Structure 1
Amino acid sequence: MATESFLKEIGGKSIVEQIVDNVTNAIINGELKPGDKIPTENELCASMGVGRNSVREAIKILEAYGVLTIKRAEGTFVKQGFDSKMLYPVLYGIILQKDSANQIVELRKVIDVGILQLAMDKLDLDSLHKAEQAMKELEQKISAVNVDANAIFAADTAFHMVLVAITQNALLEGICYYVDQITKKSRLKAIEKFLEDKATEQFLFMHREMLRVLKEKDRTKINVVVENHYQYWEKVTG
């Protein structure tokens, strides 16, 4: 590939950041498409007037983010399809900012509203059966003789991931998976609070309501159900 016109210098940033930004912008603008081979190291060096080490560092960063993939003896290519690693920078930004716990709860609410809306459009008998089965498994964990908060958390996560899977949206699945991972500590605390307050029936009711709204495709109740669903989680993060 010839020297690329999309490689423009950007002031105020390190050389590595400039290279990362330029390749990223080229993908956003459609100058580089999924599956395309990017310019060689020599071409990037010549276009930017930078050293090979800077180019290699930028490529490593983009590979770590799941944007590029390196094929030995072939070159470096733009990734085809979604890679969950693409979410890392966003999630780190969420985790590290002030008051992140409360903001994550708010984020999850917004996501769940969208999930239910989209899931209603794509719901079929098979996916409904899977959601109902996930609900039964959650009920079993709650009613176990030796109630275990970790087991409940796992079943709760599985229930929500079944709902996400109904949307058939890989990006949503990736976001929810990582939100589940980074919120495990506070969600376990919320589950322990339910157990301490002997409010397990309320815990199950909130999940049944989410399932009922989905099954009946009652869009008017989505916001209320989602708002109620996270009331205990809000208490322990507030």
Structure 2
Amino acid sequence: MSENGKKRSVVDKVTDGIVSGIISGRFQPGSKLPTEVELCREYEAGRNSVREAVKKLEANGVVYIKRADGTFVSESYNQKLLDPMLYQIILRKNSWKDFVQLRAVIEIGTLNVILEKELEQKKIQKLYEIQEKMQIVLNEPKPDPDKIMEADTEFHTGIAELSENPQIVTITEYITRLTVPSRLEAIRKVIEKGEVEHFAELHRQILEVISKREKDKIVQTVTDHYVYWNGEKI
């Protein structure tokens, strides 16, 4: 049954079956899917339904078609894999505060992963360099919200990259795309209130947690970091 209580269509049945096969490892990345006839037999579906299901998966970047060779499971990350989820979230008109909570949870988890690792000093130094670039932008006579957000995005992406986990990096980039409007509005309020130095300090606190390996301060530091975006100081 689907979310709205209606019986799943045959196309959905085929689509879900193929995706489940990929998740279970039955269909490996780069491997060829069964033929159209075999898929029809397996899912008790007509050819039109199987073709429609494959088209949906191709549009979402899950599979790709080689003419005369067949249909293959994608072996590399494709932004199209996340786009359907992105649109679904947008259409649901989630509260921006839901995204604050989501990103905070992800960042807390990311910092915990990072502090479990032996980090190379040069990688931490790169994050300090990003923070210094942000400080320069913040110190301009008339700070540009777009430049600040660009620097902020680079900073948080840099944190995700310290995890050396491509899934964490991908999810961080995904949440970043979703939160652009609300983050930009928060940055504008920071500038209007003359709070740019405190904004910079909140980023320095995260760097301290990482460099000093202060695992016990992760939750509070991340909570403090979102004080503007969460609307508590605006």
- The normalised TM-score by structure 1 is 0.88
Partner of 1:166: 162
Report the Cα distance in structure 2 between the residues aligned to 1:153 and 1:98, rounded to whole angstroms: 22
The answer on whether the counterparts of 1:94 and 1:104 sit within 8 Å (CA) in structure 2 is no
Matched letter for residue 54 of structure 1: S
Q: Residue 147 and residue 98 in structure 1: after superposition, are their counterparts in 2 closer, same or farther (change >3 A)?
A: closer
Partner of 1:90: 85
Report the Cα distance in structure 2 between the residues aligned to 1:231 and 1:89, rounded to whole angstroms: 30
Matched letter for residue 217 of structure 2: K
Report the Cα distance in structure 2 between the residues aligned to 1:27 and 1:71, rounded to whole angstroms: 18
Report the Cα distance in structure 1 between the residues aligned to 2:211 and 2:60, rounded to whole angstroms: 37
The answer on whether the counterparts of 1:67 and 1:86 sit within 8 Å (CA) in structure 2 is yes
- Report how many aligned residue pairs link the two structures: 227
Matched letter for residue 204 of structure 1: A
Matched letter for residue 84 of structure 2: P
Deviating more after overlay: 54-63 vs 43-52: 43-52
Partner of 2:22: 27
Q: Structure 1 stretches (4+) deviating beyond 6 angstroms?
A: none
- Residue among 33, 36, 41 paired with 1:41: 36
Q: Structure 1 unaligned runs (5+)? A: 1-10
Q: Structure 2 unaligned runs (5+)? A: 1-5
Alpha-carbon distance, 1:114 to partner: 1.1
Partner of 2:3: none
For residues 151-204 of structure 1, the C-alpha deviation after alignment (integer angstroms, 9 at most, x for no partner) is 000001011111111112222222211211221111011001111110111100
For residues 59-88 of structure 1, the C-alpha deviation after alignment (integer angstroms, 9 at most, x for no partner) is 122123322122233211122244333223
Alpha-carbon distance, 1:99 to partner: 3.7
- Residue among 63, 68, 71 paired with 2:66: 71
Report the Cα distance in structure 2 between the residues aligned to 1:114 and 1:49, rounded to whole angstroms: 43
Matched letter for residue 129 of structure 1: Q
Deviating more after overlay: 122-131 vs 78-87: 78-87
Alpha-carbon distance, 1:105 to partner: 0.7
Q: Find the residue that maps to 1:233 and give its secondary structure.
A: coil
The answer on whether the counterparts of 1:84 and 1:174 sit within 8 Å (CA) in structure 2 is no
Report the Cα distance in structure 2 between the residues aligned to 1:161 and 1:65, rounded to whole angstroms: 24
Alpha-carbon distance, 1:115 to partner: 1.2
Alpha-carbon distance, 1:127 to partner: 1.0
- The normalised TM-score by structure 2 is 0.89
Partner of 1:100: 95
Partner of 1:16: 11
Report the Cα distance in structure 2 between the residues aligned to 1:115 and 1:189, rounded to whole angstroms: 25
Q: Is it true that 1:125 corresponds to 2:125 in the alignment?
A: no
The answer on whether the counterparts of 1:45 and 1:52 sit within 8 Å (CA) in structure 2 is yes
Alpha-carbon distance, 1:30 to partner: 2.5
The answer on whether the counterparts of 1:134 and 1:159 sit within 8 Å (CA) in structure 2 is yes
Q: Is it true that 1:176 corresponds to 2:167 in the alignment?
A: no
Alpha-carbon distance, 1:217 to partner: 0.9
Taking every aligned residue pair, what percent have the same amino acid on both sides? 39
- Residue among 91, 106, 111 paired with 2:106: 111
Matched letter for residue 174 of structure 1: T
Report the Cα distance in structure 2 between the residues aligned to 1:46 and 1:144, rounded to whole angstroms: 66
Q: CA RMSD in A?
A: 2.0
Matched letter for residue 115 of structure 1: T
